[in-house]
Amino acid sequence: MHLQRRQRFLEAMAPDAVAILFGAKLATRSADTHYPFRQDSDFFYLTGFTQPNAIAVLRTDGGPAFTLFVEPRVEAEEIWTGNRPGVDGAKCDFGADEAHPMGEFSDALPKLIAATKTLYYVPGRNKAVDAHLVQINEQQRLRSRAGGRPTEAQMDPRAILHEMRLFKDAEEVDTMRRAASITFEAHRQTARLAKGGAYEYELSAQLDYEFRRRGAAGPAYESIVGGGANATILHYINNDQALCDGDLLLIDAGCELAGYASDVTRTYPIGGSFQGAKRDLYEIVLRAQQAAIQAAKPGGGLEQIHSAALEQLVSGLVGLNILKGSIPELIEKEAYKPYYMHKTSHWLGLDVHDVGAYTINGEARKLEEGMVFTVEPGLYIPAMAEEVPPHFRGIGVRIEDDLLVTPDGIENLTGAIPTQTDEVEAWVRDS
Ligand code: GLY
Ligand code: MN
Ligand code: MN
């Protein structure tokens, strides 16, 4: 799989070119402790290598097609941090044609790029290598009478890689389906805990537990577990307040499975029944989400999906007297923005906000087989929104699913997680 990806990447590179790609490093948490390691998604996509501090070199200039520089095996260090593949493992287990200890990269760099016309490289990741490349090129320029050859062009490898990553192959789709089904179970087991007096962190811990015991690495992003007005804070991750019966609870939580994210939001009625203003707002968002999913079509675009959601959100807000005026005019003037401030969709894959261009030559791109994206309309009425009748203030609702474009339509990967009010209520009441 990674070999095929590297072959496609090499085919897309210019001739006589070298690509240098950095893996992620361990990030310091505090003093001498680190955050859990997470490989750079581009690096993982091309190599499958999941150890910190590696560099991949891909070449179309006649040199070895795939070289890895990795942390070598050192028994005294591995006792503390665990086994590493090392140089031999880089070749045997990860298919490198050549592998070297990381410490040799700097000395190898001048020779690596000596005959290169085009360098694929992302500056800003490693200042020492950035500076070294500038120095090597200047030296080559000064030596031009004696045959020195500076690289002629520097390209961004992400232009190739991110286009590749946007289209998921059968194996990636299978992983994302499994991530969706783990997320189904995690939401189900957590919805039952949405009772007055429970703390948001208890539900967050339940999500972690369900993700991990089912094989996921954990959440794909910090889980958002927001009761009451906390649901109106888009990236609320404190998750430290008590839940109150009758309030809504917004849970935006998905797992990371084999590198791939699911991204699911459901809004649950704490105590098990949607009431009054909360039911009114929930039903508007539900209609918006259904209309948005209906609008998703191969050959269509994310803008149409967003428009379909906006139409329902704005007409719902007019129906509740929160907005006043003609629906097209309110949409045109973006009068909904105080209550719906984000877009309806984003790409999904190795990253939760995945890579891939949203426009091509300034035009919105069309949906094609293999793309995965979210549909996530919401309404967030700030607690301080004095222009809104008091009973609507401090209520947040979002409903989010993950959609796959198939050869003949759309598959809702997370559609089994209920959204209809009676089914959502039943999940909360199930004890
Ligand atoms: N969980 C982040 C998002 O929905 O985009
Ligand atoms: Mn989300
Ligand atoms: Mn999302």
Write the CB contacts of 91 (distance below 8 Å, at least 6 apart in sequence): 68, 97, 98, 99
Closest by CA position to 336, among listed 290, 288, 293:
288
Q: What's the structural domain count of the chain?
A: 2
Structure tokens at 204: 């967050």
Closest by CA position to 341, among listed 316, 365, 370, 313:
313
Does 65 score more than 80 pLDDT? yes
Pairing of strands 248-252, 265-269: antiparallel
If asked whether residues 182 and 150 sit together in one domain, one would say: no
Residue 423 annotated in active site: no
If asked whether residues 105 and 193 sit together in one domain, one would say: no
Nearest-atom index, ligand 1, CA of 224: 1
Residue 391 annotated in active site: no
How far the first Cα of the chain sits from its last, in Å, is: 43
Amino acid at 279: R
Structure tokens at 363: 């035009």
Instruction: Write down the pLDDT at residue 275.
Output: 98
Give the CATH number of the domain where residue 242 resides.
3.90.230.10
Atom 3, ligand 1: residue with shortest CA distance: 263
Residue 100 annotated in active site: no
Residues within 5 Å of ion ligand 2, judged at the Cβ atom = 252, 263, 265, 400
Instruction: Write down the pLDDT at residue 43.
Output: 98
If asked whether residues 153 and 253 sit together in one domain, one would say: no
d(CA 250, CA 203): 11
**Is 256 touching ligand 1 by the criterion CB < 6 Å?**
no
Structure tokens at 270: 């704490």
Residue 34 annotated in active site: no
**pLDDT, average across residues 28-32:** 97
**Is 376 touching ligand 1 by the criterion CB < 6 Å?**
yes
Give the confidence band of 431 by pLDDT, cuts at 50, 70, 90. Answer: confident
If asked whether residues 106 and 182 sit together in one domain, one would say: no
If asked whether residues 263 and 349 sit together in one domain, one would say: yes
If asked whether residues 92 and 119 sit together in one domain, one would say: yes
If asked whether residues 172 and 132 sit together in one domain, one would say: no
Give the CATH number of the domain where residue 20 resides.
3.40.350.10
372 CA from centroid of ligand 3 (Å): 11
Residue 124 belongs to domain spanning: 2-163
If asked whether residues 90 and 184 sit together in one domain, one would say: no
Mutate to test the pocket of ligand 1, among 252, 289, 341, 348 (most ligand atoms within 8 A of CB): 252
In order, the DSSP letters of 23-68 are: PP-PPEEETTEEPPP---HHHHHHH---SSS-EEEEESSSS-SEEE
Nearest-atom index, ligand 1, CA of 252: 1
Give the confidence band of 146 by pLDDT, cuts at 50, 70, 90. Answer: confident
**pLDDT, average across residues 47-54:** 98
pLDDT per position as a tens digit, 195-217: 999 999 999 999 999 999 999 99
d(CA 67, CA 57): 5
Cα 381 from chain centroid (whole Å): 26
Q: Provide the 8-state DSSP code for 261.
A: E
| Residue that terminates a domain, selected from 163, 185, 200 | 163
Residue 336 annotated in active site: no
If asked whether residues 240 and 295 sit together in one domain, one would say: yes
Nearest-atom index, ligand 1, CA of 263: 1
* Residue keyed to tokens 């232009």: 159
What phi-psi label fits residue 402: left (phi over 0), alpha (psi between -120 and 50 degrees) or beta?
A: beta
Residue 342 annotated in active site: yes
Nearest-atom index, ligand 1, CA of 265: 4
- Helix (H) / strand (E) element for 327: namely helix 327-332
